[in-house]
Structure 1
Amino acid sequence: MLRIGAIVLNVSDTERGSAFWSAALGYERSTNPDFLEPGEGTAPSVHLDQSDRTHLDLWTDSAEEQHAQVERLVTLGADRVDWDYPEDADFVVLTDPDGTLFCVVDTSAHSAGEQTGDATARTE
């Protein structure tokens, strides 16, 4: 099932952004201080990043599901982005019909409880 796993927010100061967004949303810092997790429920994480653009990370549970979702999104109007992917990339970068970047991330490579990192920040 494709789901919003993280909302990546571009901030000039991650410490200040963390203080504001955790108070505003009732989120808590995860073991990775750049990630905020919902205190209750199953809302998406918030990833604070100083070098990346604001975008969505959509999560899948396997490489097969990631491939199927990317193909489905392309048929809906998304475009693949020519990206400089690292060798061990767990993400695919797409744009929506208006050109807004987003990532489809295969979370199966991450151990239980490990926070998935931001895809585009690792390659820019």
Structure 2
Amino acid sequence: MTDLPAAPARFKDLCLDAVDHQSLADWWCAALGYVRRGSPDGTEPPADWPVPVVDPDGAGPLIWFNQVSEPKTTKNRMHLDVTGDPERLLALGATLLRRPDEDIHWHILADPEGNEFCVFAPTE
């Protein structure tokens, strides 16, 4: 076996910018079953600090929600793909952008701040 050099980078976390990062963090926690990660020292960080959320089972990536002053104005260049129930996500406050059709077999939704994401049916 050949020893290959280590990759120049490794995936660490996912970060999403949001005008109301506190609310968007809570929305994604409800959508994914994530929870807010407490601070290492147990203190409450300032409200404008990034909000980290984690999968309580440890299966998914750490997601950071960063406060920005400008709203989203164009299509995402990167987006999340999730497995789930689009109707439940719509009931939580997502917006339907596109239903499955002859070209795609998944739903395209947007979170409350307009970030697009794809929803695939669970596989058994």
State the TM-score bracket (shorter-chain normalisation).
Answer: 0.3 to 0.5
TM-score, normalised to structure 2's length?
0.37
- Give the number of the structure with larger relative contact order, counting CA–CA contacts within 8 Å between residues 6 or more apart: 1
Higher helix proportion: 1
Higher strand proportion: 1
TM-score, normalised to structure 1's length?
0.37
Larger radius of gyration: 2
